[in-house]
Each structure stands twice: as structure tokens, then as C-alpha cells.
Amino acid sequence: MTLLYSIPDCCRLLSIGRTTVYGLLQSGQLEKVKIGRRTLVTRKSALALAGLLENQEGNGC
């Protein structure tokens, strides 16, 4: 299970553009983790934004 997504992976997961992802990061709707120069998006915030978190937690996945 992936805990962090790169920006391109997050774009594919949410079907949105890179600029939109950075805007969501800046507004605080997505949580980020910086590792060196890389910006990574937390799995929890990406799934919560997509509305999938509630379904996954309920299924024990």
C-alpha cells in the first residue's frame, strides 16, 4: 500500500491537472510531505478528497 503519492501519481489518481494539485496543496485541501526536493501527497488526504476514505475504512482495507 502506497502511503505517499508523487504529484504525477496524484494527478492520475484524482484525474486532475498538476496546477490543480498544487492549488489544493496550497489551500490545505491536500496534505504534503517534503522529502528533500520532492513534494509528496499523503494517501489519506488524496482519498479523502476523492471521497473514497469513508468507504475504505468501513471495509477494513
Task: For 2-36, write each residue's pLDDT tens digit.
Answer: 899 999 999 999 999 999 999 999 999 999 999 99
Say what the pTM is.
Answer: 0.81
pLDDT of residue 46: 96
**Shortest CA distance to 50 belongs to which of 22, 6, 3, 11?**
11
If you compute the radius of gyration of the chain from its CA atoms, what whole number of angstroms results?
11
CB 6 within 8 A of CB 38: yes
